[in-house]
Structure 1
Amino acid sequence: MKKKLAFLGAGSHADAIAPVIDPLVYDFVGFFDDKDITEHDGYPVLGKLYDVLPYLEDGSIDAVFITIGDNAKRKELFEYVAKDYYDCIINIISPNALVLTPDSICGRGIFIGFGAFIGSKVKLFDNNVVNTGALIEHHTVVESHCNIAPNATINGLCYIREEVYVGSASVIIQTLDISSCTTIGAGAVVVKDIIEPGTYVGFQPKK
């Protein structure tokens, strides 16, 4: 029997993820969202974001995925659901993504998009977003609640701490440590550790 799946978040991020749902495993039933809307993309909005727990409790839905791009908000919702229903939070991985070692998937709420590459011995923890064409090379660790934008490259043996946003087409060279709550701008080239949270842009990026 297919599981009844709902998304937390009815917006563009949900639209990007929805086509990757496996229709043989999940029956998509609708959204939870705080906007004043009753449907999105032809599916009902079942309630506000924080209305989801009773639906899980009574079996109206079996599975959820958080479709919000903002790291802090996604973390807040993840922790709210995970406290009692961690096992109901699913991973959504494109069949066109390449994950070299299955034990790289070390949590729940992980999205890996079309054409993404996850190298050998990578560790991806809870609630991470790896977008279209992103590349994470061997032995890199990505802590929870990060967002790796399309075509970003994280080279081998890096350590990416919680709530990092890695912008489109940016490059992090090998063996670097990136502070939590950091934003790396699109096209940036990071060649040394980032030890303080902030927004970094350009080559050898600065705040």
Structure 2
Amino acid sequence: MTSPSGLLILGFGGHARAVADVALMSGIKELRFIDVNARPNETFGPFPVLPSWDEAPSAGWSVMPASGDGLGREAQCDWATKRGWALATLISPTATVGFGATVGPGTFIGHHAHVGPMASVGTGCIVNTGAIVEHECLIGDFTHISINAAVAGRCHIGRLCFIGAGSTVIDGIRVNDGITLGGGACAHRDLDEAGIYVGVPARKMTGKSPV
């Protein structure tokens, strides 16, 4: 995969900084951050943080959605594609992507992450630092597989899901759209109903307690 010569990063939160780190390690030389909350003259090292951007990116540049929130990344991807601007696919040089695996536009694969053979990761996703998406998994658009989470083989994770830090989804499990699996939780059965699931085994939260 050919790296762009420059990257327009949408946002300047924590995930945007992780995007910048992977971009620089991947050999991308020029970065611009776009964030409506940018302070005057704000920078990330030598790279400017700007409150807005109206012109098309220069030749050889592409755009990376960098909201940590799935709905935010969906909106950022929509904003860029409506303008005809190319979305980057950013994969850390320390990550591994297996034979026959596919990674969609606007998706970030972090340091030391692994996407197994024949897996499919959708548009605008995050497979964060040290996360594992094993063989033949399907990861829906705008889903975040957080740091050190493990999604075992042949799982189907829906769109706009959040799989929390250090959590586990065991082999063959289906997690429907919009579900959050809390940090350290273990999904040992299909998660069908929208909501937040916590614990080992994972149970749905109702009010302040899992049921």
TM-score normalised to structure 1 length: 0.88
Gaps of 5+ in 2: 205-211
- Alpha-carbon distance, 1:205 to partner: 1.6
- Residue in 1 aligned with 2:209? none
Q: Residue type matched to 1:16 in 2?
A: A
1:203 paired residue number:
200
Shift of 1:106: 3.9
- Which residue matches 1:136? 133
Aligned-residue CA RMSD (Å): 2.1
Q: Give the whole-Å Cα distance in 2 for the aligned partners of 1:155 and 1:144.
A: 18
Q: Any idea what SS the aligned residue of 1:26 has? A: coil
Pair 1:11–1:156, CA change in 2 (3 A): same
Matching of residue 147 in structure 1 with residue 153 in structure 2: no
Kept in 1, the 8 Å contact 2:20–2:31? The answer is no
Segments of 4+ moved more than 6 angstroms: none
1:22 Cα offset (Å): 4.8
The one-character-per-residue Cα deviations of 1:32-89 (angstroms, maximum 9, x if unpaired) are 10214132313222333xxx4x3226x3883111111111111111122123425x11
Tell me the matched-pair count: 200
Relative distance call for 1:27 and 1:202 in structure 2 (3 A) is same
2:98 to 85, 93, 100: 100
User: Which structure: greater helix fraction?
Assistant: 1
* Percentage of identical aligned residues: 30
Shift of 1:111: 0.7
CA distance in 1, matches of 2:139, 2:159: 8
- Say if 2:59 is the partner of 1:56: no
Q: Residues 139 and 28 (structure 1 numbering): CA distance in 2 closer, same or farther, change over 3 Å?
A: same
Task: Indicate if the aligned counterparts of 2:97 and 2:114 stay in contact, CA closer than 8 A.
Answer: yes
1:122-201 matches, within 5 Å, as 122-201=119-198
Structure 1 pair 180/41, CA: closer, same or farther in 2 (3 Å)? same
**Residue in structure 2 matched with residue 35 of structure 1 by the alignment:** 37
Q: Please state if 1:46 is matched with 2:45.
A: no
Residue 104 of structure 1 contacts residue 122 of structure 1 at CA under 8 Å; is this kept in 2? yes
How high is the TM-score relative to the length of structure 2? 0.87
Query: Which stretch shows the higher mean deviation, 151-160 or 5-14?
Result: 5-14
162 and 170 in structure 1: CA distance in 2 versus 1, 3 angstrom threshold: same
